[in-house]
Amino acid sequence: MAAVVVLVLVAMLAHWLVATKGLRWDVVGDYLFNSAILTGVRRTIVLTIIAMLIGIALGIVLAVMRLSPNPIVSGASWLYIWFFRSTPVLVQILFWYNLPAVMKSLSLGVPFGPSWFHTDPKTAITQFTAAILGLGLNEAAYMAEIARAGILSVDEGQTEAAQALGMTRLQTMQRIVLPQAMRVIIPPTGNETISMLKTTSLVFAIGYMELLTTVQVIYGRTFQTIPLLLTASIWYVAMTSVLYVGQYYLERYFARGSAR
């Protein structure tokens, strides 16, 4: 019975997709491999990859810090996670993009002391870097919680065995705990990556020309809004599907040596 209902609904949807003239599949076909669209797709991919790499790397560092016996180290990590999780990512992207307006210079060095690295924030913060900072630093806060859960899932006997062999805390983490934690960390990281792929579209707010912004610019000119949104959707679906496959192989790799 349920299957019949589902089949009827699917048939209705298919009919609607084919029969609705306003969807203009011919326009979708024209734009699907348009060079501007393809550039947008490439930028969406680059943005997703870099933001996730920053998120994963910083997230793992934050998770290890969070579990440190030193209260200053774990406190700093807690503060970071709390701050970045409690503000919307769109606000963070806008914040980074508009930061140069209030900062005359950007430098790296000893507080109130000498600085080694110096740059003008107006040239350093582009639409691209603001997008990366906003997405990557926010993602790190979420990845930190995922990595922490993964680390805590590893049997304490593993840490003890490594310590008894004379390994330091860092060696134990790197060689023994994190590789085992990966089994728990990978599946939600796949979800985060899929979610990130779509969250990158938020950077339309600062005008970075990734997939969605490109599509918006085109339909702003041609008024073919729905066909172009369909074009973007097809690309998002295609990219997400690739990620599904990648996640399957990663999970298989990190499950080695375990029965499940």
Instruction: List contacts with another protein (CB under 8 A).
Output: 155, 157-158, 160-169, 171, 175-176, 179-180, 256-259
| Least gap, CB of 168 to another protein (angstroms) | 5
Query: How large is the greatest C-alpha to C-alpha distance in the chain, in angstroms?
Result: 75
| Least gap, CB of 230 to another protein (angstroms) | 45
**Residue 109 φ then ψ, to 5°:** 175, -165
**Which of residues 122 and 169 has its CB atom nearest to another protein in the complex?**
169
How many whole angstroms separate alpha carbon 246 and alpha carbon 189? 12
**Which of residues 172 and 214 has its CB atom nearest to another protein in the complex?**
172
CB 36 within 8 A of CB 202: no
| Least gap, CB of 167 to another protein (angstroms) | 6
For residue 218, give both structure tokens. 């085109």
Q: How many CB atoms lie within 10 A of CB 248?
A: 11
How many whole angstroms separate alpha carbon 65 and alpha carbon 171? 14
Residue 174 gets which letter from DSSP? I
Tokens 């969250």 locate to: 199
| Least gap, CB of 155 to another protein (angstroms) | 8
**Which of residues 175 and 252 has its CB atom nearest to another protein in the complex?**
175
Residue 182 CB contacts under 8 Å (≥ 6 apart), including other chains: 150, 254
- DSSP code string of 17-72: HHH-GGG-HHHHHHHHT-HHHHHHHHHHHHHHHHHHHHHHHHHHHHHHHHT-S-HH
**Which of residues 113 and 166 has its CB atom nearest to another protein in the complex?**
166
**Which of residues 79 and 255 has its CB atom nearest to another protein in the complex?**
255
**How many CA atoms are closer than 13 Å to the CA of 260, on its beta-carbon side?**
2
User: In this structure, is the dihedral angle defined by the CA atoms of residues 196, 199, 205 and 208, taken in order, positive or negative?
Assistant: positive
**Which of residues 58 and 181 has its CB atom nearest to another protein in the complex?**
181
| Least gap, CB of 9 to another protein (angstroms) | 45
**Which of residues 132 and 154 has its CB atom nearest to another protein in the complex?**
154
Residues in the chain: 260
How many whole angstroms separate alpha carbon 190 and alpha carbon 170? 26
| Least gap, CB of 175 to another protein (angstroms) | 7
The amino acid present at 222, given as its one-letter code, is T
